[in-house]
Each structure stands twice: as C-alpha cells, then as structure tokens.
Amino acid sequence: MAAGAPSRSAHKLAEALRVFLTPDEQRRLLAPGARAVDLGAAPGGWTWTLIHHGVRVVAVDNGPLKGDLDNALVEHLRTDGFRYRPRKPVDWLTCDIAAPPARVAALVADWIAEGHARQAIFNLKLPMKRRFDAVEQCATLMRERLDRARLQCTLRFRQLYHDREEVTGFCRVLPKRGR
C-alpha cells in the first residue's frame, strides 16, 4: 500500500484513473484547483488519491477518515451520501458507497443529469449471482436517465485488478457539438 494511504481503496481509484483516462487527460482533469465530491469516503482512500493530484475534495461519509487527510484540500462532511448535493457543480464525483448497485448507479446518473458533476468514477458492489445482469441493468438505468436529460455521455464499466466483488464505472459528459 502507498505510504500514508488510509486504505487499499487508494489503489482502486489510482488504477481506475489509469484505465479510464489518458496521461494527458489525467494531467488536465486532475490539475490543482479541480474540485471533487467523494461519496462514501471513509476511511479515505479515494480522497487521499485525489488530493495527491492537487484536487480539492468534499469527503462525504458518516464514518471517520484515517491517515493524513487533515488537510486544507479536504472538507469532511458527516452526512448521508445519498442526500448530499454540492452548492456549485464540481469537476468530479467519486463514489464507493456500499449499497445495492442499482441504487448507486441511479445516484451517479442523477448527479450527472442534474449537472452536479461533469464526470464520475464509481464502484458497483455486485451480488453473488447474476453479476453480469446487474451491470447491464445499471448501465441501462444510467443511459435512460442521461438520455432523459438529453446528455451525450461516455459510460464504461470494467472489473479492475484491485476490484473484488465489484465493477468500476466511468461516466463523462461529452462536449456539445457546434452547429
């Protein structure tokens, strides 16, 4: 585990960033000054990864954060991640909430559709049986929600090396084409 990381989940987000973003996109989209909300943040692995890119993070979780997260880049809110919404849109939503996959997929889709975040990386905790079906159901649910909002988005899912009984998703709003 990386020195100072509060949990092995830091590796999950680091891997997801490498898989879903090119090195140039990582430099551009995770530049100092970018803002993120990390839902289900405790113990803080994803927050830790984001602040090491210089991203300002609102870490939302009723549980405590561990490690070196007492930092000017981190605001910890002890509240329900399903109810929280930022006052202003953020660049990133990350979500590692332990909840049924369809509930997390709906939450992420709402955040994107309502303009609270332009892109998201999230984990879906999969059921023991019918995992592929659960991912397909979540993808359909998200696409339908984003279509109703008339957004063109990239939506990808991948089981990563550091994932266990889960799959990692990535969603990004595509720029509107000029006429």
Catalytic residues: 125
**What is the Cα–Cα distance from 121 to 129, expressed in whole angstroms?**
24
First to last CA, the chain: 49
What's the burial of 82, exposed, middle or buried (CB within 10 Å: 0-12/13-18/19+)? Answer: middle
CB 10 within 8 A of CB 45: yes
Question: Taking the CB of residue 26, how many other CB atoms lie within 10 A of it?
Answer: 14
**What is the Cα–Cα distance from 122 to 105, expressed in whole angstroms?**
8
* Cis peptide upstream of residue 100 (ω within 30 degrees of 0): no
Beta-strand (E) ranges in the chain?
A: 35-39, 56-60, 74-77, 90-95, 117-125, 153-158, 166-173
